[in-house]
Amino acid sequence: MNWPNGITLLRIVLIPAILYFMLVSGSHHELIALGLFALAAMTDAIDGYLARRRRDETNLGRFADPIADKILISSVLLAFVQLQEISAVPVIIIIAREFLVTGLRTLISTHGVVLEASLWGKLKTLFQIGLVFVLLSQGALRWDADGVKVILIPVVVAITVISGIEYFYRFRKLLGRIS
């Protein structure tokens, strides 16, 4: 266990608190959820930065960091489906991509290959975090984000799908040899 891995685990620990403040009515709960999500999103950048800067990258970190991201984004988006702030269809597409890429990551790791995040994967994460910020800030800051959501949700889904396709395309030769 090192600092970057501890920060990644903090992101996972923050998820139940974020969900609590999203789903339970209370004074300033939406604002607290937004603040906790902002903290969790910052840990995503901080843990990777520290691991690279300190040359302290570990197999646990390579595994846990993307899983923490997936759990964070998926759980918050599912809470927004429950709150009827977003349709289930884009959330299903986003989660399906995450399962597929995680499966690919697992499969190729059995052949000694590590699936590093690509530019598209980083863009996907950035846009998904942006979408969650818009959705959370709508309630916390009391503004009408419907116009932004109409544009942002399809963009996020498109980038999510493109990033998934890019991973499979990049490893198509290895997948051909495995099958």
What is the pTM for the complete model shown? Answer: 0.91
> Coil, helix or strand for 25?
coil
CATH of the domain at 165: 1.20.120.1760
pLDDT above 80 (res 2): yes
**For the segment 4-16, what is each residue's pLDDT rounded down to a tens digit?**
889 999 999 999 9
What are the structure tokens assigned to 169, written together? 């395309």
**For the segment 21-60, what is each residue's pLDDT rounded down to a tens digit?**
999 999 999 999 999 999 999 998 888 888 788 887 777 7
**Which structural domain, as residue segments, surrounds residue 114?**
3-178
How far apart CA 16 and CA 6 sit, in angstroms, is 17
Which whole-number Å values give the CA distances from 99 to 18, 46, 67, 70, 129, in the listed order?
22, 25, 10, 9, 18
Count of domains in the chain? 1
**For the segment 125-176, what is each residue's pLDDT rounded down to a tens digit?**
999 999 999 999 998 999 999 999 999 999 999 999 999 999 999 989 888 8
What are the structure tokens assigned to 39, written together? 């903290």
